[in-house]
Structure 1
Amino acid sequence: MSERLTAVRRALADAPADRVVECLAEALAKEYGVDDLDVLLVDYRLSALIPLRSGPSVTRPGDPAWRCFDHQTEVGAGHVTYLPVTARGERVGVLRFIPRPSSAVERAELAEIATLLGHELQAAAAGTDRYTVAARAQRLTLAAEMQWELLPGRSRVGSGFSLAGQLEPAYAIRGDGFDWAEHDGRLSVTVLNGMGDGMTAALLTALAVHALRNARRAGLGLADQAALADQAVFAQHRGASHVEALLLELDLETGEVQVVDAGSPRMLVLRAGEVVEQPLEAQFPLGMFETSDYETQTFRLRPGDRLLIVSDGVSEALGHAGRYGDSALHRFVRRTGGQAPLQAVRSLLGDLRAFVSADLEDDAVAVCLDWTAPAS
Structure 2
Amino acid sequence: MRFLPEEEQRRLSAACFARSDLTLEQLWMRYFALGGSLSLLELDAYLNGLVPLPRVDRDMLAHAVNERLDEVTGPARAPYSHSAQDAKPLHGPLKALVDLLDGAHRAPPERLPAVVTEAGRALDLTINVYLADYDQRTLVPLRPGAAELDIETTVGGEVFRSSGTTLTRDGTLWTVLLDGVERLGVLEIVPADGTDPEDPALREQCRWLAALLGHLVTITTKYGDGLDRRRRHRRRGSPAELLWQSLPPLTGATDSVVVGVSVQPVYDLCGTVFDYALSENLAQLAVFDAGVRSQEANTAVVSALSAYRAARHAGASLAEQFAAVGAELEGRPGAPAVDGVVAELDLATGVVRLFRAGHTAPLVVRRGESVPVTGPAAPRFASAGRPAAAELRLEPGDLLALCSRGIAETANCAGEPFGRDRITGHLGQHAGELPPEIARRLTRAVLDHGEGELRQDAGVLITRWVPPR
Would you call these one fold, judging by a TM-score over 0.5?
yes
* Aligned partner of residue 148 in structure 1, secondary structure: helix
Q: Deviations over 1:334-372 (max 9, x none)?
A: 211122111111111111122121231211111111111
Q: Distance in 1 between matches of 2:350 and 2:371?
A: 17
Quick check: 290-299 or 110-119, which moved more?
290-299
Please say which of residues 321-330 and 168-177 is displaced more in the overlay: 321-330
- Alignment match, 1:117: 213
Q: Match for 1:189: what amino acid?
A: L
CA spacing shift, 1:60–1:232, aligned 2, 3 Å: closer
Identity of aligned residues (%): 25
Q: Tell me which residue corresponds to 1:350.
A: 444
Task: Specify which of 139, 149, 155 is matched with residue 58 of structure 1.
Answer: 149
Measured after TM superposition, the shift of residue 270 of structure 1 is 0.9
Counterparts of 1:325 and 1:332 in 2: how far apart (Å)? 11
Q: Distance in 2 between matches of 1:261 and 1:290?
A: 14
Choose between structure 1 and 2: higher strand proportion.
Answer: 1
Q: How many residues align?
A: 370
- Structure 1 residue 17 displacement after superposition: 4.0
Task: Give me the CA root mean square deviation.
Answer: 1.9
Task: Please give the alpha-carbon distance, in whole angstroms, between the structure 1 residues aligned to 2:387 and 2:215.
Answer: 39
Asked whether 1:38 is paired with 2:117, we answer no
Q: Does 1:306 align with 2:399?
A: yes
Alpha-carbon distance, 1:52 to partner:
2.4
Which secondary structure state, in structure 1, belongs to the residue aligned with residue 305 of structure 2?
helix
1:218-242 CA distance string (max 9 Å, x none): 000111011112111211x125433
CA separation of 1:195 and 1:63: change in aligned 2, threshold 3 A: closer
| Aligned-pair CA distance for 1:294 | 3.6
Q: Does the Cα contact within 8 Å between 1:86 and 1:93 map onto a contact in 2? A: yes
Cα distance in structure 1, aligned partners of 2:372 and 2:137: 29
| 1:30-56 Cα shifts (integer Å, max 9, x gaps) | x12222x32211122221111123322
Q: Pick the aligned partner of 1:203 from 292, 299, 302.
A: 299
The answer for the alignment partner of 1:234 in structure 2 is 330
Q: What residue is the counterpart of 2:339 in the other structure?
A: 244
Deviation at residue 184 of structure 1 after TM alignment: 3.7
Query: How big is the shift at 1:283?
Result: 0.8
Q: Which residue of structure 2 aligns with residue 293 of structure 1?
A: 386
Contact 2:339 2:359 in 1 (8 A): yes
Cα contact 1:187–1:252 (8 A) shared by 2: yes
Residue ranges of structure 2 left out of the alignment (5+ in a row): 1-89
Which one of 165, 180, 189 corresponds to residue 97 of structure 1? 189
Name the TM-score, length of structure 2 as normaliser.
Answer: 0.75
Residue 139 of structure 2 corresponds to 49
Match of 1:134 among 225, 230, 239: 230
Q: Matches of residues 184-333 of structure 1 in structure 2 within 5 Å?
A: 184-194=280-290, 196-235=292-331, 237-238=332-333, 240-286=335-381, 291-321=384-414, 322-333=416-427
**Residues of 1 paired with 2:100 and 2:453: CA distance?**
42
Instruction: Answer whether contact 2:322 2:383 (CA < 8 A) is retained.
Output: no
Report what 2:248 is aligned to.
152
CA contact 2:401–2:462 (8 Å) conserved in 1: yes
Confirm whether residue 4 of structure 1 aligns to residue 93 of structure 2. yes
Instruction: Name 1:69's counterpart in structure 2.
Output: 160
1:81 aligned partner, one-letter code: L
SS at match of 1:319: coil
**Equivalent residue number for residue 176 of structure 1:** 272
Moved over 3 A (4+): 289-295
